[in-house]
Amino acid sequence: MFLSKRYSIFIVSIVCLSQHVSASAIEQPSIAGSWVLESYKVEDQATHHFIPAMGEHPTGRVIFTQDHRINFVLTGDNRSKTATTDTEKAALLDSVIAYTGMWSLKENQWCTDVESAWNPKWVGTQQCREFHIHGNTLDVLTPWRQMPNWPGITRSIITFKKDI
């Protein structure tokens, strides 16, 4: 049976398009999922030195849900487990970064419309982060900015591993 030339071209176009979509999906790893903190560095813009803003062994996780919600938490090492005074409790705020909201992608950035955060100044803002995925590794670079937790203009360089 012979197919019309127009119908044959249509079928070939559909096959090529489906192969292109499948190849694109494979080449673009998904940011969705749960990622565990591997390393966290903070670079000072003035000196280009790295400062141990969250200590040598911070902990954390970022979770990107399929419905575009994000939960981001980083905590410094050696946080007091026995803080009782107002000063000690206030110091704990300097060793945590936490926020949640809705995330979207813009090229190699994820942007969060912050709904709730450890720092009220972030609520209602959009926070964007450059990212690159290499296998099960998520590398994140923040823009230069003034963080509420420490002085000076800094940027964070963060590495997460996919929690499989």
Q: How far apart are the C-alpha atoms of 35 and 17, rounded to whole Å?
A: 32
Q: One-letter amino acid identity for 110?
A: W
Q: Which is more confident, 72 or 11?
A: 72
pLDDT at 137: 98
In the chain, the percentage of residues whose pLDDT exceeds 70 is: 83
Q: What is the per-residue pLDDT for 125?
A: 97
Q: pTM to 2 decimals?
A: 0.79
pLDDT of the residue at 20: 45
3-23 average pLDDT score: 47
How many degrees, rounded to 5, is the angle at CA 135 between CA 154 and CA 62?
50
pLDDT band at 27 (very low <50, low <70, confident <90, very high): low
Q: Which residues contact 80 (CB under 8 A, 6 or more apart)?
A: 88, 91, 92
Fold category of 31-162 in CATH: Lipocalin (2.40.128)
Q: What pLDDT sits at residue 148? A: 81
pLDDT in tens, 94-131: 899 999 999 999 999 999 999 999 999 999 999 999 99
Other CB atoms within 10 Å distance of the CB of residue 66: 8
